[in-house]
A and B are shown apart, each in its own frame.
Chain A
Amino acid sequence: TQLLEQSPQFLSIQEGENLTVYCNSSSVFSSLQWYRQEPGEGPVLLVTVVTGGEVKKLKRLTFQFGDARKDSSLHITAAQTGDTGLYLCAGGGATNKLIFGTGTLLAVQP
């Protein structure tokens, strides 16, 4: 069974701080997607990484896919209150179905 563990589970920080969220598995994935989900809404796709070692930047967010395609990280620089939400990583495989991580709930305090 493929599992994706995210850490930390909860994170409460002050506006302006930096943070990193980790997504780890013992399985290899062909792609890794990061989503953010607000209460009562569906997950919103932030980025997709497909190549081992790949780094993608989206404004203050930096995403990295591990060399072995088993893990990923999301780094947020100078967090803002608008970054508050549930961050989910999801691994994709041969059949297209996504295996979702356990989630990281981020709260950015003003």
Chain B
Amino acid sequence: NAGVMQNPRHLVRRRGQEARLRCSPMKGHSHVYWYRQLPEEGLKFMVYLQKENIIDESGMPKERFSAEFPKEGPSILRIQQVVRGDSAAYFCASSDWTGGSYEQYFGPGTRLTVT
């Protein structure tokens, strides 16, 4: 029973390049979340998606960042024209209704380094 899958695990980009981070939710889960963990900081919510819909993007930077969760395939977090401050660990989580809450299960993360 596979958990949340993320790839790549490590990604190195030069300033100005694009970064694409992929997330496959747990089987049967239709809710996907992206969080960012900056060095020496806690986990911060970025965006919440269901299939083909963005539900809450209140934590997404206004520029350069976008996310999608298409009908088929993984969820993608896209960062255009990366800058050094984008270097962080990006985690994806997925959930489904458990009767009391939406328990979120996390993937192993993608560690983005911008040089």
Contact = CB atoms under 8 A, between A and B. Distances in A.
A98 B33 contact: yes
Give the size category of B's interface with A: 20 to 34
Given A41-B109, A42-B106, A99 B45 contact: yes
Interface in A68-83: none
A95 to B, nearest CB: 5
B44 interface: yes
A59 interface: no
Nearest to B33: A97
Given A96-B31, A97-B33, A100-B43, A48 B100 contact: yes
Contacts of B33: 96-98
Interface residues of A, number: 24
Given A43-B106, A44-B106, A92 B42 contact: no
A85 to B, nearest CB: 14
A33 B43 contact: no
A78 B33 CA distance: 35
Contact of A100 (B6, B44, B55): B44
